[in-house]
């Protein structure tokens, strides 16, 4: 019998590394909300881990073959029956333009089931291998947990194909329980949805199977556990039953949804009260209609957010340091003099392992229509490279490397080098990074119509040549980006060495610190840096005393 392919094992290792963070952000854009008719998903997978980009070819399997399900140590925990045929999968998009993302909301701790077999990443991977559409993926995932059990905590899944997009939320039944409790809602055409580590589905229709699916026990289980009282007169809410909001959660998760919505529909009034935990504040809607249809360039920008221009702008204030860095080092929460504090949690964070913006496009052949704009490390300093779902290899530098050892051969380490070095003089270096970032991404966007026109023509005459063409284009341009980022790292190192800033002639200049930050230093340590006071013997003695 056939065991799990090595590529799926690699997928397990990648998602296993993500589990410590539980910090991801997704945006779902329906075709009617995008400027070109694409269905789009964004996914930032945040955590301190080294991702490896993988491709799994389509395969036929013998009867009675199986997939081995392994734990973190590599021990086989169980087996899942294999299907006769599995799809080709490029990371988290398959050959039919089906794509899946997720964020972990955790939910009620007592509902985690250690006796279940399948963690959420197994469900995602198996669904991509076995499904052609978003609805099929929902059916595959829910059938699998019914048969083998669900092992993860609460999860929100973004699931999209070339026609429609869904949000599915799932949580376990507790130790020894069967299956899972779940609900899935189709995002209405022309709308967008966002989720970020908090359950987003509240009330839902019970009689609209075209747009809403759910497990038979979604309400009865909540009643049995005491999470919902049907005699209360209140409508049932999945979110309130299985992931009751509290102020710390709202600040951590809903702030990101708020920031996406305020930028997508700025014509509306977006109060911060809900994500600041104000009692009886109005929750943000599950989906909204954008003021203007979104391009994939717009969506790139949405994932590069630190609450700029708001009261929570992470590039401002003493916590941003002298050079306006939006990065805050972990832990996020701490105590000082008996008071608990927390940093803001932005969409764009230095802890991101990888992110993508997907495009699924119904008017193109699947091999060409499915596209992952893929980047590693922080969304703010990464560069998204185009990877078509019809390719049959991946760029080597995105598939190699270890978090335990730096290597210029690893794209993840190259991007980390640039991003980490930029923290030394962020307000200066981020401009250099973004100049290269926008230049490359704009070039890719400009090339896209011609590349795809050529690919479509080849698909009619020679499909194998089309695959080679898309693969060569994706790999060569991804590797060129990595090489350009190595050069960028070297440029930043020499230009800003030892705190100087080299001018156009290569001469180091002393630029010091911003006036606003110097004022803070002087006010916090009065007299210490004052040369005039230090020259006065009396004042000098008073300072020393």
* Averaged confidence pLDDT in the chain: 93
pLDDT (tens digit per residue) in 262-308: 999 999 999 999 999 999 999 999 999 999 999 999 999 999 999 99
456 assigned to some structural domain: yes
Check whether residue 415 and residue 496 sit in a common domain. Answer: yes
Check whether residue 176 and residue 293 sit in a common domain. Answer: yes
Q: Is the link from the previous residue into 331 a cis peptide, with omega within 30 of 0?
A: yes
Calculate mean pLDDT across residues 371-389. Answer: 98
For residues 166 and 157, give the distance between their C-alpha atoms in angstroms, rounded to a whole number.
8
Phi, psi (degrees; rounded to nearest 5) at 281: -70, 150
pLDDT for the residue 541: 55
Check whether residue 310 and residue 420 sit in a common domain. Answer: no
Does residue 1 have a pLDDT over 70?
no
Number of domains composing the chain? 3
Check whether residue 532 and residue 496 sit in a common domain. Answer: no
pLDDT for the residue 471: 98
DSSP 161: -
Calculate mean pLDDT across residues 538-542. Answer: 56
pLDDT (tens digit per residue) in 465-491: 999 999 999 999 999 999 999 999 999
Structure tokens at 168: 């599915």
Calculate mean pLDDT across residues 3-26. Answer: 51
Check whether residue 517 and residue 495 sit in a common domain. Answer: no
Q: Say how many CA atoms lie within 13 Å of 153 toward its Cβ.
A: 15
For residues 44 and 103, give the distance between their C-alpha atoms in angstroms, rounded to a whole number.
9
Which stretches within 380-514 are classed as H helix?
Answer: 411-422, 426-461, 463-495
Check whether residue 197 and residue 223 sit in a common domain. Answer: yes
pLDDT for the residue 539: 55
Does residue 540 have a pLDDT over 60?
no
Check whether residue 424 and residue 535 sit in a common domain. Answer: no
367 assigned to some structural domain: no
106 assigned to some structural domain: yes
Check whether residue 139 and residue 185 sit in a common domain. Answer: yes
For residues 476 and 395, give the distance between their C-alpha atoms in angstroms, rounded to a whole number.
8
* Residue range of the domain that includes 427: 405-502
The alpha carbons of the chain give a radius of gyration, in whole angstroms, of: 25
For residues 466 and 255, give the distance between their C-alpha atoms in angstroms, rounded to a whole number.
44
Last residue of a domain, one of 298, 321, 344: 321
pLDDT (tens digit per residue) in 164-186: 999 999 999 999 999 999 999 99
Structure tokens at 153: 């905590």
259 assigned to some structural domain: yes
377 assigned to some structural domain: no
- Return the H-helix or E-strand segment holding 523: helix 515-524
- Residue 308 makes CB contacts below 8 A (sequence gap 6+) with 314, 315
305 assigned to some structural domain: yes
Determine the 3-state secondary structure of 36 from DSSP: coil
Banded pLDDT at 71 (limits 50, 70, 90): confident
- Return the H-helix or E-strand segment holding 101: strand 99-106
pLDDT (tens digit per residue) in 73-103: 788 999 999 999 999 999 999 999 999 999 9
Check whether residue 255 and residue 288 sit in a common domain. Answer: yes
For residues 320 and 266, give the distance between their C-alpha atoms in angstroms, rounded to a whole number.
26
* Three-point CA angle 242, 164, 379, nearest 5°: 70
Check whether residue 534 and residue 462 sit in a common domain. Answer: no
Last residue of a domain, one of 321, 339, 365: 321
343 assigned to some structural domain: no
Calculate mean pLDDT across residues 52-60. Answer: 98
For residues 316 and 237, give the distance between their C-alpha atoms in angstroms, rounded to a whole number.
38
pLDDT > 70 in the chain, percent: 94
Structure tokens at 534: 């230090």
Does residue 509 have a pLDDT over 60?
yes
Q: What is the pTM of this model?
A: 0.94
pLDDT (tens digit per residue) in 393-434: 999 999 999 999 999 999 999 999 999 999 999 999 999 999
Last residue of a domain, one of 272, 294, 321: 321
> Which is it for the CA torsion 68, 71, 74, 76, positive or negative?
negative
353 assigned to some structural domain: no
Check whether residue 496 and residue 535 sit in a common domain. Answer: no
- Residue 503: CB atoms within 10 A of its CB come to 10
Calculate mean pLDDT across residues 104-117. Answer: 97
Check whether residue 284 and residue 422 sit in a common domain. Answer: no
pLDDT (tens digit per residue) in 223-269: 999 999 999 999 999 999 999 999 999 999 999 999 999 999 999 99
Banded pLDDT at 544 (limits 50, 70, 90): low
């Amino acid at each position: 019998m056939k065991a799990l392919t090595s590529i799926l094992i690699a997928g397990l290792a990648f998602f296993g590394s993500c589990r410590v963070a539980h910090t991801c952000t997704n945006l779902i854009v329906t075709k009617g909300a995008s400027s070109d008719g694409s269905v789009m998903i964004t996914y930032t997978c945040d955590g301190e881990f080294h991702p490896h980009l993988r491709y799994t070819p389509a395969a036929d399997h013998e009867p009675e073959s199986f997939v081995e399900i392994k734990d973190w140590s590599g021990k086989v925990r169980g087996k899942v029956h294999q299907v006769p045929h599995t799809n080709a999968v490029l990371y988290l998009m398959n050959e039919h333009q089906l794509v899946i993302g997720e964020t972990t909301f955790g939910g009620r701790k007592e509902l985690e089931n250690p006796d279940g077999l399948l963690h959420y990443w197994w469900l995602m991977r198996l669904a991509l291998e076995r499904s052609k559409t978003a609805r099929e993926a929902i059916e595959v995932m829910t059938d699998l947990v019914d048969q083998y059990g669900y092992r993860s905590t609460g999860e929100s899944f973004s699931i999209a194909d070339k026609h429609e997009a869904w949000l599915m939320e799932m949580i376990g039944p507790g130790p020894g329980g069967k299956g899972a409790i779940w609900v899935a809602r189709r995002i209405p055409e022309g709308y967008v949805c966002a989720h970020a580590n908090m359950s987003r589905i509240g009330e839902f229709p019970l009689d609209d199977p075209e747009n809403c699916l759910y497990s038979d026990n979604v309400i009865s289980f909540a009643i049995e556990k005491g999470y919902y009282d049907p005699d209360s007169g209140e409508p049932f809410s999945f979110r309130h039953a299985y992931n009751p909001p509290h102020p710390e959660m709202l600040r951590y998760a809903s702030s990101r949804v708020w920031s996406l919505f305020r930028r997508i529909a700025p014509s509306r009034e977006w109060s911060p009260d809900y994500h600041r935990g104000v009692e009886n504040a109005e929750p943000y809607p599950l989906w909204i209609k954008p003021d203007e249809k979104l391009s994939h360039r717009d969506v790139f920008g949405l994932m590069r957010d630190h609450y700029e221009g708001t009261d929570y702008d992470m590039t401002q204030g003493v916590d941003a340091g002298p050079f306006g860095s939006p990065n805050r080092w972990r832990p996020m929460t701490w105590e000082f003099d008996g008071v608990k504090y927390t940093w803001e949690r932005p969409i764009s964070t230095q802890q991101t392992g990888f992110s993508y913006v997907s495009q699924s496009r119904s008017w193109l052949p699947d091999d060409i229509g499915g596209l992952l704009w893929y980047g590693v490390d922080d969304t703010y300093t990464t560069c998204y490279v185009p990877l078509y779902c019809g390719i049959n290899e991946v760029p080597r530098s995105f598939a190699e490397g270890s978090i335990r050892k730096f290597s210029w051969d690893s794209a993840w380490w190259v991007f980390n080098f640039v991003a980490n070095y930029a923290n030394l003089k962020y307000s200066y270096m981020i401009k250099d990074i973004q100049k290269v970032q926008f230049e490359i991404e704009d070039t890719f966007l400009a090339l896209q119509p011609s590349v795809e026109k050529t690919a479509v023509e080849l698909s009619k005459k020679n499909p194998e040549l089309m695959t080679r063409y898309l693969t060569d284009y994706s790999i060569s341009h991804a590797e060129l980006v990595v090489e350009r980022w190595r050069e960028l790292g070297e440029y930043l190192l020499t230009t800003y060495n030892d705190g100087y800033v080299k001018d156009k002639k290569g001469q180091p200049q002393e630029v010091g610190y911003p006036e606003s930050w110097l004022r803070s230093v002087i006010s916090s340590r009065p007299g210490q840096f004052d040369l005039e006071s230090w020259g006065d013997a009396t004042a000098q003695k008073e300072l020393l005393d």
